[in-house]
């Protein structure tokens, strides 16, 4: 039996007190798992290209059939991303002894005798692949043999098609459409749509239920590319990641073991580049960038490319599917119609304004909507009563992607139709998918019918900002705070740049501003795996509850926010 070193099992199970004739076997098995955990932890702790065998742990592993005894001076390879691990011989299953036979026991089972459990992520994405195969003709009624983004949008708008399990699968494919084309159609971006051949390649890729596990370390490194602030320390001028930045990030205390191991792998890759052991990815930096190998300079796309594209897309599909399923469950729960949340597009200033209005008057948004009884609704905005908007009622798939609750999804669709063309980003069939947001002061005026005022923080002192917040919250005015688009907040602050937040309160005694992120569903108080507020780099919210509502000191608010928008008194 052969096992790659990088694939050592890591079962995290407690040792319990078994009784009866199989207690010895159960104990052996659990001790083997604990020994394997120790071996895995040694790998994570070292995190570089090679580590030496610890004789005691190796002896324990060998005793439970996990590793064979090493030759003198042998080392186990912990490899940089993209380099295959050498095979390590594993002890064969033990033959039953005479004692075992007399006792009625089979030979002690080795940990390596059992096949690895299926990866639930791969099982979920395989379900998406099978659904796409089985519903291809349903999505392609003209039988063109190619599924375009228009086909997916038409399906998402059809109430008969975009409900139940179909909704989650549609949303997942829609949000990963372009990446799917690159991974399973044409990597050069020339594909016209999803073909049956591409679906078959997708099915083949998801047929290996260990595929993501085999690329786990590389995926952990690739994930660092989307956490640029962790690598750069929040430097707004940084375009590259240097060796010094990675070493500085490794000193943080709020990292997960996976993040720490990924940073160590990235540091090893930088060293390989410096020594010329590997080549750079073609096209690095374009015509305007000259990387310095001595500083280990890397751009984000180089970091992401440490994992195969197919693995990254499959992981993204799983994340999208889980998110869609979570959203649909919350929408279908009691009170789900009243949830307000920003979806996948940039409508933060409108949704933040809607949350602000709803906080002050919970009936105001509902009063704008009239159900026409024919599958459509008419929305009359107080700020534009002469131009009512008639929109299709949203399907479950549309609510899972835009607006979230039924009420908010209808308002967002009407807002998209109301918008000046300068705020539309494309010609999507779904109105909400066209929106780029507009301006928070205009949106607040649209939803209230009252003039709005803009307070620019850069033009006022900290004390003046304090006075404004006291007056506005005392008057129970709807309030919005917009972050700057030119100053990246440093790690630990956790604010989104160029984003609108609803100001839901102000603690004048502690001088703390209470904010609601419109990207986090209102009314949902359970923890979520998707951080929507200031959080540690291990994903834990600073206040311990990931509900999108959080406090920041007034000084931070004054520094990183650009303006406060409210209705005129």
Residue 227 belongs to some domain of the structure = yes
* Token pair recorded at residue 525: 């108080």
CB atoms within 10 A of CB 190: 8
- pLDDT exceeds 70 at position 380: yes
Same domain as 503, residue 417: yes
Note the pLDDT of residue 465.
96
- pLDDT exceeds 80 at position 227: no
Residue 362 belongs to some domain of the structure = yes
Question: How confident is the model over 533-542, as a mean pLDDT?
Answer: 74
Note the pLDDT of residue 23.
39
Same domain as 46, residue 17: yes
Same domain as 484, residue 340: yes
Residues 566 and 451: their CA atoms lie apart, in Å, by 9
Note the pLDDT of residue 107.
46
CB atoms within 10 A of CB 422: 7
Note the pLDDT of residue 85.
39
Question: How confident is the model over 203-228, as a mean pLDDT?
Answer: 88
How many percent of the chain have pLDDT more than 90? 40
Domain closes at, from 212, 240, 261: 212
More confident residue, 239 or 76: 239
Residue 321 belongs to some domain of the structure = no
Domain closes at, from 83, 113, 143: 113
- pLDDT exceeds 70 at position 551: yes
Among residues 185, 184, 214, 189, which one has the least CA distance to residue 202? 184
Lowest mean pLDDT among 145-154, 221-230, 356-365, 533-542: 533-542
* Token pair recorded at residue 124: 């979920």
- Between helix 177-184 and helix 165-175 the angle, nearest 10°, is 70
Q: Which domain holds residue 19?
A: 2-113
Residue 547 belongs to some domain of the structure = yes
Same domain as 162, residue 63: no
* Token pair recorded at residue 386: 């002469």
For 139-207, give the DSSP string: H-TT--SEE-HHHHHHHHH-TTTSSTHHHHHHHHHHHTHHHHHHHHT-TTS---SEEHHHHHHHHHHHT
Same domain as 471, residue 341: yes
Confidence of residue 133 (pLDDT cuts 50, 70, 90): very high
How many percent of the chain have pLDDT more than 70? 70
The residue with tokens 């996990």 is 66
Residues 274 and 285: their CA atoms lie apart, in Å, by 17
Confidence of residue 29 (pLDDT cuts 50, 70, 90): very low
More confident residue, 154 or 115: 154
Confidence of residue 292 (pLDDT cuts 50, 70, 90): confident
Whether 300 and 225 have beta carbons less than 8 Å apart is answered as yes
**DSSP 8-class letter at 13:** -
Residues 248 and 245: their CA atoms lie apart, in Å, by 5
Residue 317 belongs to some domain of the structure = no
Out of 107-111, 380-384, 418-422, the most confident range is 380-384
Among residues 372, 390, 371, which one has the least CA distance to residue 381? 390
- pLDDT exceeds 50 at position 437: yes
Residues 214 and 77: their CA atoms lie apart, in Å, by 15
Reduced to 3 states, what is the DSSP secondary structure of residue 130?
helix
In angstroms, the Cα distances linking 54 to 6, 60, 73 are 16, 10, 11
Note the pLDDT of residue 432.
67
Residue 324 belongs to some domain of the structure = no
Residue 69 belongs to some domain of the structure = yes
Reduced to 3 states, what is the DSSP secondary structure of residue 229?
helix
Same domain as 269, residue 255: yes
Confidence of residue 541 (pLDDT cuts 50, 70, 90): confident
For 497-539, give the DSSP string: TT-EEEEEEEETTTTEEEEE-TTS-TT--S--SS--SSB-TTS
* Token pair recorded at residue 76: 């186990």
Residues 490 and 534: their CA atoms lie apart, in Å, by 11
Confidence of residue 229 (pLDDT cuts 50, 70, 90): confident
Query: How many distinct structural domains can be found in the chain?
Result: 4
Residues 111 and 40: their CA atoms lie apart, in Å, by 14
Whether 10 and 36 have beta carbons less than 8 Å apart is answered as yes
Could you tell me the CATH number of the domain that includes residue 566? Answer: 3.90.70.10
The residue with tokens 């534009």 is 384
Reduced to 3 states, what is the DSSP secondary structure of residue 363?
coil
User: CA 356, 360, 363, 365: dihedral to nearest 10 degrees?
Assistant: -20
For 427-436, the pLDDT digits (tens) are 677 766 666 6
Predicted TM-score (pTM) of this structure = 0.72
Among residues 567, 445, 554, which one has the least CA distance to residue 506? 554
Same domain as 474, residue 490: yes
Residues 481 and 498: their CA atoms lie apart, in Å, by 10
Confidence of residue 508 (pLDDT cuts 50, 70, 90): very high
Reduced to 3 states, what is the DSSP secondary structure of residue 75?
strand
Distance of CA 313 to the CA centre of its chain: 12
* Token pair recorded at residue 152: 């997916």
Note the pLDDT of residue 543.
80
Note the pLDDT of residue 59.
44
Same domain as 272, residue 242: yes
Confidence of residue 290 (pLDDT cuts 50, 70, 90): low
Among residues 423, 440, 477, 447, which one has the least CA distance to residue 369? 447
Same domain as 553, residue 456: yes
More confident residue, 484 or 201: 201
Enumerate the H helices of 275-402 as residue ranges.
300-304, 309-332, 348-360, 364-367, 396-401
Confidence of residue 505 (pLDDT cuts 50, 70, 90): very high
Domain closes at, from 161, 181, 212: 212
Residues 531 and 528: their CA atoms lie apart, in Å, by 7
Note the pLDDT of residue 54.
45
Residue 389 belongs to some domain of the structure = yes
Note the pLDDT of residue 186.
87
Same domain as 147, residue 88: no
Among residues 416, 405, 272, 276, which one has the least CA distance to residue 337? 405
Counting Cα atoms < 13 Å in the Cβ hemisphere of 350 gives: 27
CB atoms within 10 A of CB 425: 12
Residues 469 and 482: their CA atoms lie apart, in Å, by 14
Same domain as 223, residue 208: no
Same domain as 255, residue 208: no
Enumerate the H helices of 215-308 as residue ranges.
216-223, 228-232, 243-249, 257-274, 300-304
């Amino acid at each position: 039996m052969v096992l790659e070193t990088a694939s050592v099992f890591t079962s995290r199970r407690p040792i319990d007190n078994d009784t009866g004739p199989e207690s010895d076997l159960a104990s052996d098995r659990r001790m083997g798992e604990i020994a394997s955990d120790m071996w895995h932890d040694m790998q994570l702790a070292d995190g570089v290209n090679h580590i030496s065998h610890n004789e005691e742990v190796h002896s324990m592993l060998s005793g439970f059939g996990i590793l064979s005894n090493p030759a003198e001076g042998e080392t186990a390879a912990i490899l940089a991303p993209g380099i295959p691990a050498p095979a390590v011989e594993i002890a064969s299953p033990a033959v039953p002894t005479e004692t075992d036979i007399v006792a009625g026991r089979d030979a002690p089972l080795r940990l390596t005798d059992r096949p690895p459990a299926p990866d639930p992520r791969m099982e979920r994405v395989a379900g998406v692949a099978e659904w796409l195969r089985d519903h291809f003709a349903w999505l392609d009624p003209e039988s063109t043999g190619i599924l375009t983004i228009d086909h997916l949008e038409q399906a998402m708008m059809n109430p008969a098609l975009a409900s139940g399990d179909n909704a989650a699968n549609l949303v997942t494919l829609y949000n990963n459409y372009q990446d799917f084309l690159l991974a399973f159609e044409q990597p050069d971006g020339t594909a016209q749509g999803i073909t049956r051949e591409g679906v078959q390649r997708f099915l083949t890729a998801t047929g290996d239920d260990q595929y993501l596990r085999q690329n786990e370390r590389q995926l952990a490194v690739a994930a660092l590319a989307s956490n640029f602030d962790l690598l750069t320390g929040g430097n707004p001028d940084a375009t590259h990641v240097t060796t010094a930045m990675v070493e500085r990030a490794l000193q943080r205390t709020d990292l997960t073991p996976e993040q720490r191991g990924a940073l160590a792998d990235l540091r090893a890759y930088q060293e390989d580049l410096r020594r010329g052991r590997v080549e750079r990815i073609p096209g690095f930096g374009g015509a305007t960038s000259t990387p310095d190998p001595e500083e280990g300079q890397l751009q984000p796309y180089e970091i992401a490319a440490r994992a195969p594209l197919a693995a990254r897309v499959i992981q993204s599909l799983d994340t999208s599917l889980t998110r869609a399923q979570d959203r649909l469950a919350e929408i279908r729960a009691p009170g789900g119609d009243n949830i307000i949340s920003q979806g996948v597009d940039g409508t933060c200033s409108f949704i933040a304004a809607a949350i602000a209005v709803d906080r002050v008057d919970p009936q105001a948004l509902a009063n704008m909507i009239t159900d026409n009884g024919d599958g459509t609704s008419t929305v009359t905005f107080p700020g534009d009563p002469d131009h009512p908007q008639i929109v299709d009622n949203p399907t479950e798939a549309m609510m899972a992607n835009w607006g979230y609750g039924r009420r908010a999804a209808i308002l967002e669709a009407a807002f998209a139709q109301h918008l000046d063309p300068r705020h539309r980003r494309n010609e999507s069939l779904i109105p909400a998918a066209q929106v780029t947001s507009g301006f928070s002061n205009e949106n607040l005026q649209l939803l209230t019918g009252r003039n709005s005022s803009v307070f620019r923080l850069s033009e006022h002192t900290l004390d003046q900002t304090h006075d404004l917040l006291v007056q506005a919250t005392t008057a129970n005015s709807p309030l919005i705070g917009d972050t700057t688009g030119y100053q990246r907040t440093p790690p630990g602050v956790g604010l989104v740049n160029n984003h609108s937040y609803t100001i839901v309160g102000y603690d004048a005694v502690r001088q703390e501003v209470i904010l609601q992120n419109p990207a986090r569903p209102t009314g949902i108080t359970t923890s979520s795996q998707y951080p929507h507020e200031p959080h540690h780099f291990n994903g834990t919210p600073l206040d311990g509850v990931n509900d999108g509502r959080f406090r920041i000191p007034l000084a931070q608010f004054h520094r990183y926010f650009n303006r406060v928008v409210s209705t005129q008194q």
